[in-house]
Amino acid sequence: MRVLLADHIGGVAEQLRARGHEVLESPALDADSLPAAVAGVDALVVRSTRVSAATIEAGSRLSLVLRAGAGTNTIDVEAAAAAGVYVCNVPGRNSVAVAELTLGLLLALDRRIVDNTVDLRAGRWDKTSYSQARGVLGRTLGVLGLGDIGSAVARRAAAFGMPLATLARPSRPAATTALVEQLGIREVDGLAALAAASDVLTVHVPATAATRGLVGAQVLAALPDGAFVLNTSRGDVVDEGALLAELDAGRLWAGLDVYPGEPAAGRTQWSSPLAAHPRVVGTHHIGASTEQAQQAVADGVVEVVDAFAHGDVRHCVNLAEGRLGSGTVVVRHRDRVGVLAGVFDLLRRAGVNIEQMDNRVFAGGTAAVATIDVAGQVDRELLARLDALPDVLHVSLLDVPATNGAAQ
């Protein structure tokens, strides 16, 4: 495959070349120059460079856009879906690094480490003022978003002796359910209730239309006086104006790694009333920036690209979820040339569209079963014609549940 690396991702180029891929490295590309660079490229790998609809359109051979990280908010996922381009990510590889920074921000707030350092460098000794920390032992940490990062934060906070709380969910992955039970995480209903139960609220949710401003005035007002807000996810998840109002009122403190409207460049002039606030301890969106995390992400990028080159799509975020169409045609057939071509031809002639399909071959390579989600009318006559095709052993029709992806 021909792969374009549009950001500096250490170690990836060498590993991909060693596996036989052609690799182009252009870390200076930006959203405006990227469209002209994707011609003839099969896969595009980015970290922070924005991938616009214009880039998707310009990539005539482009099949894969891979984010070297978890979030895909810098990629026009809808445009990629419309063009049949896979958008994939590398989830979970930087969880430990982000969790470590989150706990670092917590301790920096509690012990006022930044102010301590500033005064010492200025020749001021003020042990009296800085000896008044509350400590974190026994203080409740509310975890908003109990995914890979939130779970890593919860484990570390539990080691500090912090009681834990999170939002109640009707269902969770088995590993998360086990973690909730293991750590005794209290589940509460609603964001305001979670805030009210928390001395520290830490935010670990992706940036989506649904999460923009999720932590707003009502949630912040529910936090007890003196509470900490930690955000190492995305800046837009916390309402900037509402947080500034609480900080100005002297009610809350914040530890932030992300900010609304933060620069995309690695180094530039930038000012923000939130980042400059005296009740904020801030870092420069460096949550995933440790050697351990970068190596883990690089390894993940290589794994996804390698798998894609062999027909295995991993961690895709823009495929339709669930079953599609109006029904599912199941064809049990001999594994011979042209069998499925005949099935597809009959479906086409009947005006039935194939939404998605899976064909699995049995051991020995003699027989296979094709499961085909279709949109259109599949009547008994069509089923009989399909069943009569050479080398077709049996055909059946299954109903797709009303809650399939096409109906959402």
Claim to verify: residue 160 and residue 65 sit in the same structural domain: no
User: What average pLDDT does this structure show over 121-135?
Assistant: 96
Calpha distance 15→11 (Å, rounded): 6
Claim to verify: residue 152 and residue 279 sit in the same structural domain: yes
Is pLDDT at 350 greater than 70 in this prediction?
yes
Claim to verify: residue 142 and residue 99 sit in the same structural domain: yes
> What is the pairing mode between strands 327-334 and 367-375?
antiparallel
Question: Does some domain include residue 153?
Answer: yes
Annotated catalytic residue within 262, 315, 323, 355: 262
CA terminus-to-terminus distance, the chain: 35
Claim to verify: residue 235 and residue 107 sit in the same structural domain: yes
Question: Does some domain include residue 216?
Answer: yes
Question: Does some domain include residue 81?
Answer: yes
Claim to verify: residue 154 and residue 269 sit in the same structural domain: yes
The reported pLDDT for the residue numbered 344 is 97
Count of residues in the chain: 408
Is pLDDT at 161 greater than 70 in this prediction?
yes
Global confidence as pTM = 0.77
234 is catalytic: yes
The reported pLDDT for the residue numbered 405 is 39
Claim to verify: residue 271 and residue 303 sit in the same structural domain: no
Residue-wise pLDDT for 46-97, tens only, equals 998 999 999 999 999 999 999 998 888 899 999 999 999 999 999 889 899 9
CA–CA distances in Å: residue 303 to residues 15, 285, 296, 315: 10, 26, 11, 11
Question: Does some domain include residue 315?
Answer: no
Token look-up 């012990």 returns: 111
Is pLDDT at 407 greater than 50 in this prediction?
no
Question: Does some domain include residue 316?
Answer: no
Is pLDDT at 402 greater than 90 in this prediction?
no
* Amino acid symbol at 329: V
Is pLDDT at 406 greater than 70 in this prediction?
no
Annotated catalytic residue within 47, 67, 285, 333: 285
Q: What are phi and psi of 181, to 5 degrees?
A: -70, -45
Claim to verify: residue 103 and residue 130 sit in the same structural domain: yes
Question: Does some domain include residue 406?
Answer: no
Question: Does some domain include residue 138?
Answer: yes
Annotated catalytic residue within 47, 93, 234, 333: 234
Q: Which of 127-141, 312-326, 385-399 has the lowest mean pLDDT?
A: 312-326
Claim to verify: residue 87 and residue 115 sit in the same structural domain: no
Claim to verify: residue 166 and residue 234 sit in the same structural domain: yes
Sign of CA dihedral 64, 70, 73, 77: positive
pLDDT band (50, 70, 90) for residue 401: low
Residue-wise pLDDT for 279-311, tens only, equals 999 999 999 889 999 899 999 999 999 999 999
321 is catalytic: no
Calpha distance 202→195 (Å, rounded): 10
The reported pLDDT for the residue numbered 321 is 78
CATH code at 381?
3.30.70.260
Average model confidence (pLDDT) for the chain?
94
Claim to verify: residue 130 and residue 230 sit in the same structural domain: yes
Contact 88, 313 (CB under 8 A): yes
Claim to verify: residue 122 and residue 219 sit in the same structural domain: yes
pLDDT band (50, 70, 90) for residue 408: very low
Question: Does some domain include residue 195?
Answer: yes
285 is catalytic: yes
Claim to verify: residue 41 and residue 143 sit in the same structural domain: no
Residue-wise pLDDT for 266-282, tens only, equals 889 999 999 999 999 99
Residue-wise pLDDT for 184-238, tens only, equals 999 999 999 999 999 999 999 988 889 999 999 999 999 999 999 999 999 999 9
Number of domains in the chain: 3
The reported pLDDT for the residue numbered 179 is 97
For 386, the domain range is 327-401
CATH code at 115?
3.40.50.720
pLDDT above 70 as % of the chain = 98
pLDDT band (50, 70, 90) for residue 250: very high
The reported pLDDT for the residue numbered 10 is 85
Sign of CA dihedral 359, 363, 366, 367: negative
Is pLDDT at 35 greater than 80 in this prediction?
yes
